[in-house]
Amino acid sequence: MQRKKQTEKKNNIKYNDGWSFAIVNGRLAEINFAKGFGVWSHAYIDRSSFKTKREQKMIDADIKKCIFSY
């Protein structure tokens, strides 16, 4: 019984405000999202403006998950 409650709490993911890298209409972009609205803005960016390995890894990880078009 208690184990079931623990898994329910663990799987109850709540999304907050934030940003992510994404592919929007075939181009690299930063997207902003809000809890009540979903994705609410984007800005196209150049990958070359992010120099560190950490930033490059973040871009690679995010663009695998986030591809949008309109």
The single-letter DSSP state of residue 57 is H
Whether residue 3 is contained in a domain is answered as: no
User: Does residue 13 carry a pLDDT above 50?
Assistant: no
Higher pLDDT, 45 or 3: 45
pLDDT at 41: 86
Q: Which residue has the tokens 């907050």?
A: 16
Whether residue 42 is contained in a domain is answered as: yes
Count of structural domains, the chain: 1
Look up the domain containing 56 and give its range.
14-68
Whether residue 5 is contained in a domain is answered as: no
- Give 3-state DSSP helix, strand, coil % of the chain, rounded to 5: 35, 35, 30
Q: What is the pLDDT of residues 21-69, one digit of tens each?
A: 999 999 999 988 887 777 788 899 999 999 999 999 999 998 888 888 8
